[in-house]
Amino acid sequence: MFNKRQLLIDIAKDLAIMITVIVIASFVVASFSKHIIMIGNALIEKKKLSLVLEKRGELLAGLKHDFAIVGEGDQHIKEAFPPSDDILSFITILDNLASQTAIEQTYSFGVPIPAPGVGNAIPLLTLDYSITAKGNINTFIGYLKGFEKLPYFSGISSVMISGSGDRGWEDNIQATMQARVYTTPSK
């Protein structure tokens, strides 16, 4: 028969079964959600690593391209610093430049001193020198253009030009230049 007590027992059994199913379902859902979160985090990390590797590949490709452009440039840089105890190659190039541009020049060199602000990373010396050049303004301009292309780290710090003759600078000029060349210490 169906009585009140039996009804309560059946409801309690059904409630116990439902609560058990809900607890088991919650446990399964929680464990699956943790697993899904771990998989999602792993995918995010793999994507980050993939992007890092892609950027590294682009960087390496860029470096390879830059090194191809530089080529033997580092050797040219090393050769741009004549030894302080043997600047004959530098003087020869100055003489060749003067002869190519039809300039009459005289020069005098000072004593090499440590280059300021370089530190111990690159031991360089500076060698100050002066040049007196005679010619006309057009040959002097050609001389300066050639000086810019010298294969040495050298620069002019001051120029004083004076003209003579009826046409001033178009005829004869005398230019006195103060300059500096960077050298390496003698070995």
**What is the reported pLDDT for 187?**
63
Task: Give percent of the chain with pLDDT exceeding 70.
Answer: 88
Q: Are residues 112 and 169 in the same domain?
A: yes
User: What φ, ψ does residue 112 adopt, rounded to 5°?
Assistant: -65, 140
User: What confidence tens digit (pLDDT) does each residue in 4-30 have?
Assistant: 888 888 889 989 999 999 999 999 999
What pLDDT digit, counting tens, does each position of 139-180 carry?
A: 999 999 999 998 888 989 999 988 876 766 667 889 999 999
- Site of tokens 């999602």: 40
Q: Quote the CA–CA distance of 184 and 126 in Å, as a whole number.
A: 9
Domain co-membership, 146 together with 56? no
User: Does 164 share its domain with 144?
Assistant: yes
Asked if 174 and 123 sit in the same domain, the reply is yes
Alpha-helical (H) ranges within 71-178 are 73-79, 88-100, 137-148
60 shares its domain with 84: no
**Same domain? 97 vs 131:** yes
| Residue 76 pLDDT | 67
**95 phi and psi, to 5 degrees?**
-65, -45
Count of domains forming the chain? 2
Q: Which amino acid is at 109?
A: F
One domain for residues 57 and 114: no
| Mean pLDDT value of segment 105-124 | 78
What is the rounded distance in angstroms from the CA atom of residue 75 to the CA atom of residue 89? 16
Task: Name the residue type at position 146.
Answer: G
Phi/psi of residue 33, nearest 5 degrees: -65, -40
For 64-97, write each residue's pLDDT tens digit: 777 777 666 666 677 778 887 888 889 999 999 9
| 149, 164: one domain | yes
CATH number of the domain where residue 172 is located = 3.30.70.60
Does 118 share its domain with 136?
yes
Asked if 135 and 173 count as a contact pair (C-beta separation under 8 A), the reply is yes
What six digits make up the tokens of 121? 């990373």
> Do 113 and 158 belong to one domain?
yes
Residue 149: give the domain boundaries: 78-183
CB of 182 closer than 8 Å to CB of 151? no
Q: Are residues 111 and 23 part of one domain?
A: no
The mean pLDDT value for 108-132 works out to 81
